[in-house]
Structure 1
Amino acid sequence: MENNCLTDNSDMESNFDPIHDIIDYLVRCAKISFKNARIDETEVRTTDKVRMAYDLYQRSPTDFLIQFGKYLAPYHIGYFETLNPVSEKERFQECVTQLKHYHSEESRHKRIRNRRYKALQKLQDESDYFSEKQMMYRNPLLYEQLIGQYLTDEEIQERDGVDNENLTFLNMILETVDRNQMRETKNEQMLTEIIHDGSNLGKSDKKDNNIKQKGQKKWGDFDTPDTKPSFVPETRKQAMISSPERNLLREEFFQEMYSSFIEGSDTDIDYSTIDNDEQYDDLQQLSQDAEDRYFDSELNDVENLEEHMKLVEQYGKKSNKTNECALDDSLDIFMKHISNKLNVS
């Protein structure tokens, strides 16, 4: 009897279609909007989502991939590579090939960097996140090394001046909190830098330092009291460099902060809201990709053309507001600019 149960379980496992797990993943894990034909019902129940997705898969695996393919996990693609729908074989295989490229690590890395670059531009236009003062708060030590030490007293007063138009008690409190946090961050950065420099000392240097610190004292010797005060106020002395050098260092600071954002190093940013948001995709580049797929395809099928025309229309509306070059080109130029500046310095 026990053997029969084991046999039944093995038969169930062998007959289980992984598409059910894939659909469950799409419904529960991926952020997909399921449209319901009934206007009076705003939310679609989970069971209805599962049924709708499975019905679509049974009608046309290709249409299923077109609608849900980009939401799949990369390991799901292997399942569809094993399928061979006779009625739509060529169209289906082309779709699988495109999805394999879309979910590849190289494509995903490029897509994420492009979206972050687009988010950077949006933050520049709509917030003060990349203002000099806000970036100084986030990385005060680098700011001091590249910009702060070269500022005149008048420039510092102008930078730290109070905005009388928006002056409120709450703003004053927030400004104080930001400055206190900046001091703590700077102290932590300096301590990390000291520890890092200390770890690079050779063993012989460490041994010599230990001997000097401990000292070789004989019987009857007394310690010499330290007459230095425990705290010495820091006297600011402006470092003098030429104006072109100041501008170059300022630009280097800005590029370092931009790079930090794109590389995902800003701890106060929830990158998942950017990396998974399609609104940051560049419509012009997507349109060009769709056009290339259409003209490179032997079939030149209508759906590729329709996709291209739809993207062209969307980009046309968008280009009335802004006239930007393709994001890939912009990002490549941007990153090369950063590398060149760092090499020069």
Structure 2
Amino acid sequence: MENNNHDESEELDPITDIVDYLVRCAKVSFKNAHIDQKEIRTRDKIQMACDLFRQSPTDFLLQFGKYLAPNHIEYFEKYEPECSNNGYHDCIKELKQYHTDEARHKRVRNRRYNALKKLQDESDYFSEKQMMYRSPLLYEQLVGQYLTEAERKERDGVDTENLTFLNLILETVDRNQMRETKNEQMLEEDLESMDLNKAQKSDDSDDDEQFKRQQWGEFDTPCKQVSFKPKVQSTQTISAPERQLLKEEFFQEMYCSFVEGRDDIDYTTIDNDEQYDDLQQVSQDAEDRYFDSEPNDSENLEEHMKLVSEYGRKNSTGSNSEDPLDLFMKHLNKRQVET
């Protein structure tokens, strides 16, 4: 009878649901001690996590805290371990900061930026050709229409060294998909233009109606000035520096599209991947938060930095305290202002 009551109390304990979330939803990995060991079963993972929590709530949070849902933090705030220490409460503070919307937004943008750099180094995702496939209309407006015939042939040339029947088929599929994408983008642009014209006509009709109602001698307000869009320069009149500037603008727009989450890819594989964290910046942020808080005596600092280290701090070169993505976005904004 006592055992049944004990089992019921465990089932009602929120930590059981939290652990279940970690294993089934967050899909936290449990590394095996031996390579040849069989895959750990789900119920064994749950048991391991529960045992760790009972042994040391602080170690539990250090290992799984990053994968918790934000609403789980309230449970740990109210929970008071038998052997309470500063480490547990400092860990709660770190996790509350880690799970704020602001921190997550910054973390996601930084991870996407680091993923962008990795893709630039290790793949052709940000090659001119691949970006042309993804955004053919913008490419044609900023780059394509200013290319010479020789440059077009070089861009569209087939890699004869690695030419295979499969590569030829894939190239054909990519180009057909690009044409469809371009047609869709042109249609979307035309619809936006039509909506803009309708809105403009509606404003003009309102102005005409107001004009008719005015009496002679009441034209104190000058008429609205008609704005004209400048004509697009032709290939013959645009200079080489201007062509390069437009090409850079296209590249920057594609970078922004990736960082802002507008590309047609699975962003969860990036946003939830810690390998894209800037560990130097993470450590710097943790130190800054500590020195902005009170009190901050040397004993607390030592304990705090131990927690930061256990969260994944590693030695790395460089001392740039400014967020690298912020620098990148400042550069883009600067270029947009200049153009």
TM-score range, shorter chain: 0.7 to 0.9
1:138/1:182 contact within 8 Å kept: yes
What residue is the counterpart of 1:337 in the other structure? 331
CA distance in structure 1 between the aligned counterparts of 2:32 and 2:142, rounded to whole angstroms = 56
Moved more, 196-205 or 165-174: 196-205
Q: Which runs of 5+ in 2 are unaligned?
A: 1-7, 205-233
Partner of 2:248, secondary structure, is helix
Superposition deviation, residue 143 in structure 1? 0.4
1:293 and 1:63, CA in 2 relative to 1: closer, same or farther beyond 3 A?
Answer: farther
Query: Which structure is higher in RCO with an 8 Å CA cutoff and minimum separation 6?
Result: 2
2:4 matched to 1:16? no
TM-score, normalising length: structure 2:
0.78
Superposition deviation, residue 292 in structure 1? 5.0
One-letter identity of the residue aligned with 1:262: V
Q: CA RMSD in A?
A: 2.9
Partner of 1:155, secondary structure, is helix
CA distance in structure 1 between the aligned counterparts of 2:255 and 2:245, rounded to whole angstroms = 15
Partner of 1:134, secondary structure, is helix
What residue is the counterpart of 1:34 in the other structure? 30
CA distance in structure 2 between the aligned counterparts of 1:130 and 1:43, rounded to whole angstroms = 37
> Superposed, which structure 2 residues align to 1:135-214 within 5 Å?
135-202=131-198, 205=201
What residue is the counterpart of 1:115 in the other structure? 111
One-letter identity of the residue aligned with 2:250: F
Superposition deviation, residue 196 in structure 1? 0.8
Partner of 1:266, secondary structure, is coil
Q: Which runs of 5+ in 1 are unaligned?
A: 1-11, 209-236
Superposition deviation, residue 306 in structure 1? 7.5
One-letter identity of the residue aligned with 1:171: N
One-letter identity of the residue aligned with 2:251: F
Superposition deviation, residue 264 in structure 1? 0.8
Cα deviation 1:13-57 (Å, max 9, x = unaligned): 999221111011111112322245577633222222222111221
CA distance in structure 2 between the aligned counterparts of 1:273 and 1:253, rounded to whole angstroms = 26
One-letter identity of the residue aligned with 1:85: P
1:114/1:327 contact within 8 Å kept: no
Cα deviation 1:158-200 (Å, max 9, x = unaligned): 1112222112222222212111111111111111111111112
Match of 1:247 among 236, 244, 249: 244
Percent of residue pairs identical: 61
Match of 2:65 among 53, 62, 69: 69
> Paired residues, what number?
297
Moved more, 30-39 or 85-94: 30-39
TM-score, normalising length: structure 1:
0.77
CA distance in structure 1 between the aligned counterparts of 2:309 and 2:11, rounded to whole angstroms = 40
